[in-house]
Structure 1
Amino acid sequence: MSDKMRLIPFEKMLTWIPKELETKGSIFGVNKDKFYYNETGKTITLFNEKLTSPIGPAAGPNSQLAQNIVCAYLTGSRFIELKTVQVIDGEDITVAKPCINAQDEGYNVEWSTELKVSEAFDEYVKAWFLLHVLMKELKFSSERDFMFNMSVGYNLSGIKSAKIDTYIEGMRDASSTKIWKECEETLLSHMDMFSEFKKQDLDKISHTICRSITISTMHGCPASDIEGIATYFLKEKGLYTYIKMNPTLLGEKFVRETLNTMGYDYISLNGEHFTNDLQYLDGVNMLRRLKTLAKKLNLEIGVKLTNTLPAKITNNELPGEEMYMSGRALYALSISLASKLAREFDGDLQISYSGGADFFNVDKILATGINPITFATSILKPGGYARITQMAKKVEKYLDNEFSGIDIKMLENLAKQALTDKHYRKELRLVRSRKLDSKFPIYDCAIAPCSIGCPINQQIPQYVALVGEKKYDEAFSVIAIDNALPAITGTICNHDCQTKCTRIDYDESVSIRELKKIAVLNAQDKFTENIKPSDIRTGKKVVVIGAGPAGISTAIFLRRNGVDVTVKDKRRSALGIVAHVIPGFRISPEMIKKDFEMAKKQGVKFEFCVDENFSLDKLKKEYDYVVLATGAWKPGRNPLSDSDNKAIDALSFLEEYNNQKGNVSLGKNVCVIGGGDVAMDTVRAAKKTTGVEKASIIYRRTKQYMPAEKVEIELAISEGVLLRELLSPISIKDGLLSCEKMILGDMDNSGRRAPVGTGEIIMIDADTVIIATGDNIDSDLLRKNKIELNIKKFAIVKETLETNIVDVYVVGDLRKGPATIVKAIADAKIVAKDILIKEGLSSDFRMVNSCVDEKMLYNKKGILKDPKSDEKEAKRCLSCNSICELCVDVCPNRANVVVKVEGDLVSTHQIIHLDALCNECGNCAIFCPHDGKPYRDKVTVFLSKEDFDTSENKGFFIEDIEKGICLVRNEEDNIISYTLGQDTAISKEMVSMIQTSINNYDYIL
């Protein structure tokens, strides 16, 4: 695999585009339904040129190659900021790979084009011609409706070098260049291909590709050098000029405080840049002088806001020591700088805006008078170029004008709003990674991450779609296949599924749990009514000790498949912690009852108020299988020293709170130690208790790192709970809780910043302290019954959760300590399946087929949720199990391609990788839900034997397309000479991929 891109010749592109459009309805993978047409007739004027949209890709990955620019144009970009060129180019540039990480806020370690300057020039000229052709042929506009803006760096001597000067002069007038003539002649010889693009249209293509330029200088470049470069472009080249400015102009204190406020406190800054980069007053004075000069020359000088923010690499985001941050974390900084500069110039300052621009703010920025707007990180995320179409449509109402100044007040308000806008705060996406542990398959890789991320692998896209269609009975039937406690999990599940939802990388996760609850409320009672207990299909009997979520789930799964099951519990009723501990304000008794009634209707037998000191020897005389599910009820470690018996266990408190209907005595001040869901239940219950004036959460990290559900934290705060962050409790004495103040250090293995003690002690009033840091299991009871334990005093179990004692299993919290309800159900599934297999019984954990409308799913790509929309939640689901193709979406170069295959493959939709177009930026690997890298792990097409020989990718190189002769590196890494139709060691799947590529996708070969 080579990270060197092979450029597509102009003639090849010219034949590729119409063939793909005709046969696949797309161009470079952009579906024609995403093509942008401005039907308003409105334009916006910039530098005396009319544009039908004021947006486009920023200088970066999406404007480096001709095909990238074509894709951007097709979807609505009309201002194309070409990728930066500099005197050091081609193989002289060392870019660490991977070089892009757009998982949340964006990071990169690249700076300018990876091509030679001459190659970059050729790509831009090719794109210039192609856009003119497409504009006419696709009837986007009768006259040119787009413009190119070149970007150069990084110092005056480099810019004046022969190489860069030739580039700039070529962009000012390309008519005498070799590539211009090649494109012109190629078009002339292929005029018969077009129905709308005529010879006169070719003649009208302007030789001037760029009349404007953006200056990109390196960090530390002196103000005098920047001013010298700008003066040179204005006076010597006659170019409208933008100067890229950095967020460092705001000062380190402002930048640090803003990032901390927004939740990006983990981003590590390099103080040297704030000292050595252009200073704010120097920048303002420089702009004043340049504006005077530009006015004399009848030109414009403006600023590009902002460049990326340098940050230290501390968490292996990318290789190296320093990276450049972009995306939503940059928005509050960039818009603040825009506001500050606009006020300096009374609104009379041209601003080309980029920092953190996306669907959620593009219209607000334009409304202030700022234009054009470019973006990079947003279109590197799922949806890719298709995101631009939605943005272009959104900003149409701001067309039909030219720059007349910036509304200073509106911009100031926008800068203030940025600090609280949820779309740019870290807490919108606290998920560290959506990656799964699943091995990346070379074929049939589409999966629903929500389903795989769910411990019980619920068929989520299937039931979500059914709920969206109001087919509640069918939806509930799908849910009940894998979920024995749908009402409980529809109310209080920690929804692991939602942390894997692809929509997280668009806007927010689909509200999967709420959709399940809708099905429960509309269909569960009817479902339960219609249950007919299965006939007993085996003479063997099962006893489950513990009627909590794990125990009841095991019983339901077994009983519905024909096994006789009895559940015994020491309490007076079922469902353990859910029923006896979790407060009623979190889950109502009615919802708990729904699941218990379903278990009874299945034929599960229950015995309550049973002594929990079981004897396995006695149980095994009466039952063939024993499932232990007694939970984790023993108080955990008390983190306090010198306790005066005022510290109580959270579960004990909550059980008493429920039994006494809240009538407990706690005093005026209550402190709850912990940050999980139990802690939130506890502190909310304490706050509702008569006599309590202050209820506080004591947590050693910050709110951002609390494991509790975000909604539970917000509910607690809204009810008056005090959140005391960065405090580590030490002891309680005389009604005072002493705590050490903490600070956050580097990231630890949990993906959170580790708390570090400061030595400073503070005292907090505390009549009662409640410990909510986790409870323990009764390991003594396991040991007494001769169950082998590990060093942590948990039962040693097989993959089937069977202990060292044959046919005795451990499930739920008893297995490894406190866990989630859905993980308890997952344990139940494992044990039930094992017992059913032992008994030779089949289970009904069956898959439900999805019937999807492919056109509808493709239309959803790139569409972010408009906060003003009343779109139904179920409609937001992307049905990733049917169509994923994230690697295709996020590749700026179009190196990953969907091919529709017939033959020996499960899915007709397969991905092939085009080696020639890939520079190993790594972006597809970031968003692929599997533990793999599409650019390395998918079937790869090579355009040269040299690239095939130097790669390790599985794939093929076609030596003779007419005869079907190929070199293939197969799944076992063997290299085989293969001719289509012959019997060889090539797998049927690989044959299908080769055959399909030759027969239906020859234009990419």
Structure 2
Amino acid sequence: MGKVTGFMEYERIEEGYEPVPKRLKNYKEFVIGLKDEQAKVQAARCMDCGTPFCNSGCPVNNIIPDFNDLVFQGDWKNAITVLHSTNNFPEFTGRICPAPCEAACTLNVNDDAVGIKSIEHAIIDRAWAEGWVTPQPAKVKTGKTVAVVGSGPAGLAAAQQLARAGHSVTVFEKNDRIGGLLRYGIPDFKMEKDHIDRRVAQMQAEGVVFRTGVIVGSLPEGSKVTNWAKESISAEQLKAEFDAVLLTGGAEQSRDLPVPGRDLDGVHFAMEFLPQQNKLNAGDKLKGQLRADGKNVIVIGGGDTGSDCVGTSNRHGAKSVTQFEVMPQPPEVEDRPLTWPYWPIKLRTSSSHEEGCEREFAIATKEFLGEKGKLTGVKTVRVQWQGGKMIEIEGSEQILKAELVLLAMGFISPVASVIDAFGVEKDGRGNAKAATENAQAYRSNIDKVFVAGDMRRGQSLVVWAIREGRQAARAVDEFLMGRSVLPR
């Protein structure tokens, strides 16, 4: 550890933000990372706590005390080596991970946690700037071939690990660019897409082949070519051409809200709204983009996707933005002795909320109202929860004006077409069924077909996707070679 008394001497240092008026004018990242000296002070707060709960709080089991100590000592090059030993893409997690490691930090029992995420962010940005992130091609090729279906964080992590083990890896992506939900689900102001592009370039130098615009299974009925897929390839082809197939698609089946008026013009899924802006930012031309300019916008859903809709609507120039959450407002400060080291339920205010947003809790949508087929308002009712059941409060109905409603209530499961194309068995939630801890880890019921990430566990965090991609890569490597030197 860096400094024995550091946690008593230094306060937590937060990353900064550019002023709201400035950042609302564009879609660029606006977080101001820690300077080297600030990162050193932050790292000095890491305690000699005996059992570092942060390691287990982190899904990829980052070796956090070690890289904190190296930053304190000024050994940034070894710090990125330690960080990369467990996490293929710390530039992703250092920007968009909610940092469960910090919730598990021992200092968080009665003080502010060590700023682990900000240190990770500083390490990887320094590593790219110094040219320390370089291709690591395998010295010996195995002659084995692997198809990875889906190029989100799980697919990318698995592909990189398998390529470094010496296998020939081809990644299939239905969209026109690599990245999955990283590319088209996360706004650029949270993570600019050049972070993905330079990782793709690194992986190509390591031997990974990327094929975009390819739908695995079949194109939607009645369509020949779409704006997101140029060709299709059957499950049978992949199984015949490759020694192993790994399915890593995202959970893209949005949760709907089937209330009267759902078919009105102006009610849309968040994932109809967010990808369009990312495509425009990338230089694409779109007809009929969903815009929030001058509109009263209601975002239904209180999670990260809803927050992303808030930030994007404000950048469009929305007249007003209101976010609904059906659950009661959580406490502003968690009961740490009760929740630590687990992820606590507490009120979380994002940077997008700070840019301008009304937040309504314990509210449900009864009906979408409209005139001549166009949305004009939302009929709501206040609710309370008793015995795990939602009960409407009599006399609390109201009508709010709205010209755009964005449904951001989470995702039910992966789109079933890929799973069904391979004949993979599903669990009760519609995800591909596979264990994670036994000899059949990440194997589906179909020979040589593996599943990982959202495809297996359902909607989850980027950091969980990276973990599952890495673990699935080891399982595939063991299947192909009888043993594996890849880390879990």
Give the aligned partner of residue 938 of structure 1: none
- Secondary structure in 1 aligned to 2:383? strand
Structure 1 contact 680–713 (Cα < 8 Å) conserved:
no
- Determine if the alignment matches structure 1 residue 741 to structure 2 residue 382: yes
Structure 1 residues 811, 588: CA separation in 2 closer, same or farther (over 3 Å shift)? same
Q: Which structure is higher in helix share?
A: 1
- Determine if the alignment matches structure 1 residue 648 to structure 2 residue 268: yes
- Determine if the alignment matches structure 1 residue 680 to structure 2 residue 300: no
Structure 1 residues 477, 537: CA separation in 2 closer, same or farther (over 3 Å shift)? same
Correspondence for 2:458 among 811, 817, 823:
817
Question: In 2, distance between residues paired with 1:598 and 1:538?
Answer: 20
CA deviation string 1:631-669 (max 9, x = no partner)? 122332225333224321111210012223496433510
- Determine if the alignment matches structure 1 residue 803 to structure 2 residue 444: yes
Structure 1 position 724, deviation (Å): 1.6
Give the aligned partner of residue 505 of structure 1: 109
Structure 1 contact 487–592 (Cα < 8 Å) conserved:
no
CA deviation string 1:777-836 (max 9, x = no partner)? 222432232111223222221321110012211111122321110111111122111122
- Secondary structure in 2 aligned to 1:621? helix
Correspondence for 1:617 among 228, 232, 236:
236
Question: In 2, distance between residues paired with 1:527 and 1:841?
Answer: 33
Q: Which runs of 5+ in 1 are unaligned?
A: 1-32, 35-382, 391-444, 749-753, 847-1005
Structure 1 contact 483–825 (Cα < 8 Å) conserved:
yes
CA deviation string 1:689-743 (max 9, x = no partner)? 13x2101101123443799998972423321111122211122112111111123
Higher relative contact order (CA 8 A, sep 6+): 2
Give the aligned partner of residue 70 of structure 1: none
The equivalences for 1:394-413 within 5 A come to none
Give the aligned partner of residue 127 of structure 2: 523
Give the aligned partner of residue 778 of structure 1: 415
- Determine if the alignment matches structure 1 residue 634 to structure 2 residue 253: yes
Q: Which amino acid aligns with 1:758?
A: I
Structure 1 position 573, deviation (Å): 1.6
- Determine if the alignment matches structure 1 residue 829 to structure 2 residue 470: yes
Structure 1 residues 491, 447: CA separation in 2 closer, same or farther (over 3 Å shift)? same
Question: In 2, distance between residues paired with 1:777 and 1:456?
Answer: 22
Question: In 2, distance between residues paired with 1:535 and 1:552?
Answer: 20
TM-score, length-scaled by structure 1: 0.38
Structure 1 residues 711, 757: CA separation in 2 closer, same or farther (over 3 Å shift)? closer
Correspondence for 1:451 among 22, 43, 55:
55
Structure 1 position 536, deviation (Å): 3.8
Question: In 1, distance between residues paired with 2:309 and 2:60?
Answer: 28
Structure 1 contact 632–818 (Cα < 8 Å) conserved:
yes
Question: In 1, distance between residues paired with 2:384 and 2:116?
Answer: 36
TM-score, length-scaled by structure 2: 0.75
The equivalences for 1:251-650 within 5 A come to 446-524=50-128, 526=130, 530-613=134-217, 614-643=233-262, 644-650=264-270
Question: In 2, distance between residues paired with 1:808 and 1:669?
Answer: 47
Structure 2 contact 103–344 (Cα < 8 Å) conserved:
no
- Determine if the alignment matches structure 1 residue 793 to structure 2 residue 430: yes
- Secondary structure in 2 aligned to 1:698? strand
- Structure 1 or 2, whichever has the larger Rg, is 1
- Determine if the alignment matches structure 1 residue 757 to structure 2 residue 384: no
Structure 2 contact 327–361 (Cα < 8 Å) conserved:
yes
Give the aligned partner of residue 487 of structure 2: 845
Structure 1 position 755, deviation (Å): 5.5
- Secondary structure in 1 aligned to 2:322? strand
Question: In 2, distance between residues paired with 1:788 and 1:532?
Answer: 36
The equivalences for 1:29-68 within 5 A come to none
Give the aligned partner of residue 665 of structure 1: 291
CA deviation string 1:913-969 (max 9, x = no partner)? xxxxxxxxxxxxxxxxxxxxxxxxxxxxxxxxxxxxxxxxxxxxxxxxxxxxxxxxx
The equivalences for 1:196-215 within 5 A come to none
Structure 1 contact 473–527 (Cα < 8 Å) conserved:
no
Structure 2 contact 173–213 (Cα < 8 Å) conserved:
yes
Q: Which amino acid aligns with 2:392?
A: G
CA deviation string 1:195-220 (max 9, x = no partner)? xxxxxxxxxxxxxxxxxxxxxxxxxx
Structure 1 contact 680–708 (Cα < 8 Å) conserved:
no
- The percentage of aligned residue pairs carrying the same residue is 26
Structure 1 residues 758, 819: CA separation in 2 closer, same or farther (over 3 Å shift)? same
Question: In 2, distance between residues paired with 1:773 and 1:694?
Answer: 20
- Secondary structure in 2 aligned to 1:793? coil
Structure 1 residues 618, 832: CA separation in 2 closer, same or farther (over 3 Å shift)? same
Structure 1 contact 729–737 (Cα < 8 Å) conserved:
yes
Correspondence for 2:316 among 689, 694, 709:
689
Q: Which amino acid aligns with 2:314?
A: K
Structure 1 residues 726, 529: CA separation in 2 closer, same or farther (over 3 Å shift)? closer
Question: In 2, distance between residues paired with 1:610 and 1:487?
Answer: 27
Question: In 1, distance between residues paired with 2:425 and 2:98?
Answer: 31
- Secondary structure in 1 aligned to 2:426? coil
Structure 1 position 559, deviation (Å): 1.2
Question: In 2, distance between residues paired with 1:480 and 1:767?
Answer: 46
Instruction: State how many pairs are aligned.
Output: 400
Structure 1 residues 629, 787: CA separation in 2 closer, same or farther (over 3 Å shift)? same
Give the aligned partner of residue 354 of structure 2: 718
- What is the Cα-based RMSD across aligned positions, in Å? 2.8
Question: In 1, distance between residues paired with 2:331 and 2:236?
Answer: 46
Structure 1 residues 841, 563: CA separation in 2 closer, same or farther (over 3 Å shift)? farther
CA deviation string 1:217-264 (max 9, x = no partner)? xxxxxxxxxxxxxxxxxxxxxxxxxxxxxxxxxxxxxxxxxxxxxxxx
Question: In 1, distance between residues paired with 2:87 and 2:79?
Answer: 12
CA deviation string 1:287-340 (max 9, x = no partner)? xxxxxxxxxxxxxxxxxxxxxxxxxxxxxxxxxxxxxxxxxxxxxxxxxxxxxx
Question: In 2, distance between residues paired with 1:700 and 1:708?
Answer: 18
- Secondary structure in 1 aligned to 2:299? strand
CA deviation string 1:601-645 (max 9, x = no partner)? 332221112123242221011101101112122332225333224
Structure 1 position 556, deviation (Å): 0.9
Question: In 2, distance between residues paired with 1:517 and 1:494?
Answer: 13
Structure 2 contact 216–418 (Cα < 8 Å) conserved:
no
Question: In 1, distance between residues paired with 2:331 and 2:304?
Answer: 13
Q: Which amino acid aligns with 2:407?
A: I
Question: In 1, distance between residues paired with 2:348 and 2:188?
Answer: 14
- Secondary structure in 1 aligned to 2:368? strand
Structure 1 position 476, deviation (Å): 0.7
Question: In 1, distance between residues paired with 2:486 and 2:106?
Answer: 29
Structure 1 residues 536, 738: CA separation in 2 closer, same or farther (over 3 Å shift)? farther
Question: In 2, distance between residues paired with 1:678 and 1:708?
Answer: 19
Q: Which amino acid aligns with 2:159?
A: A
Q: Which amino acid aligns with 2:291?
A: S
Structure 2 contact 183–278 (Cα < 8 Å) conserved:
no
